[in-house]
Every structure is written in structure tokens, then in C-alpha cells.
Amino acid sequence: MRLFYAIFLPEEVRRPLAEAQGQVARYRGWKGVAPHQLHLTLLFLGERPEGDLEDLLALGHRLGRLFPTFPARIRGTGYFPNEGTPRVWFAKAEGEGFAPLAEALRQGVAELLGEEALLAGGDKPFKPHITLARRKAPAPRVPPVVFGLEWPVAEFALVRSELRPKGPIYTLLEKFPLRGEHGREQEESAGKHAEDH
């Protein structure tokens, strides 16, 4: 199964991004991402055997307990590659928690499944972004779009992607709430409380 870890966006963030996609909708060369599928990929795993699933779910839960919620922002748009002919039009995401969580997932997957499990994601440095559209044929760049979007990142997910002729279908296999120290304190408190009785 084709898998990735990702953060999906709340409706109040998806809506203005979907409106911005109207900038490229008039050009046949650009294919927009369906608004309900807008997300930030933390780690792409590619095709993995079903036997890996238990380890990947356990890793998500473990990291969810370690990482706290954090604020995220979207300010503007950009292209991959930035020079020459772009293949992807994206919204830039900022947030102190993105890079540490993505790196912890990389390390965790490498420890559990070996370095080869990271090959599908390539060796490009992690840049938090939300893909808005992919360029499939000649089409012009559109001017930058400025946003003032903020939201609290409170969970991430392990996602299954099935490629279909009309576009991928995403299935959220499991969500992992971010609880960080607060969550750990609650667990310890609950455990201590249970011992008292």
C-alpha cells in the first residue's frame, strides 16, 4: 500500500486556499488538488508491505505523545522548482513544529524499517508546503497570492493513497493527536491516581 504521514487542514484554511486555486483553474496545463485533499506531507513512504502498518501506527502514536500542538501559518505561494519551468504551485507553511516532527518520523521509520524505507521520499530537504496545483502541460505562472492564515496543528495522520485515473484517493488510516508534555503529565497523573486506589 502507498502510504504517507501528513497534516490535513481545517475547513477555515482550506476555503481560502481553494479560492486561490481559481488563479490556475482557467489554464488546462494546471491541475488543482481537490480542496478536501489539501494537506502538508510530513513524510512520503511510497509502497510499503501491509506488514509494516503496525510499526508505522505505533510510531505515530508514540510521536503524538511526545510532540505538543503548535501554531502554523500560511503567508504566500511559491513554485517547485523556483527557477525555470515549474511543476508544482504551492502554499508556503510556517510553524516551529513541522521540521522536528518530520525529522522524528524519518528517524523513527529508519529505526523500525531500515533506511531503504526512506528512499521513496527522495533526499530533498523538508520544506513544509501545501501543494495547490501540479503542472501537466504548458501553462503560465500565476502571480503570488498573499494569505494571512493561521491554525493550531493538533494532530497528524497516516494516509493511504490509491492512484486512480481521475486522481488519487486518500484514506486516513489513523489520526495521531499531538499531546506533548501536557498529555504525558495527564497520563502520569491518571496512572498515579489509579495506583492511589
Which residues carry out catalysis?
Answer: 39, 129
The conformation of residue 114, written as its DSSP 8-state character, comes to: -
Task: Answer whether 91's CB lies under 8 Å from 17's CB.
Answer: yes
Q: Which residues pair with 2 in a beta bridge?
A: 47
Measure the CA–CA gap between 76 and 193, rounded to whole angstroms: 48
Q: What is the rounded distance in angstroms from the CA atom of residue 7 to the CA atom of residue 70?
A: 12
Q: Which long-range contacts (CB under 8 A, 24 or more apart) does 117-125 make?
A: 117/45, 117/48, 117/52, 118/43, 119/46, 120/44, 120/45, 120/46, 120/47, 121/43, 121/44, 121/45, 121/46
C-alpha span between 48 and 57 (Å, rounded):
13
> Is 153:95 a contact under the CB 8 Å cutoff?
yes
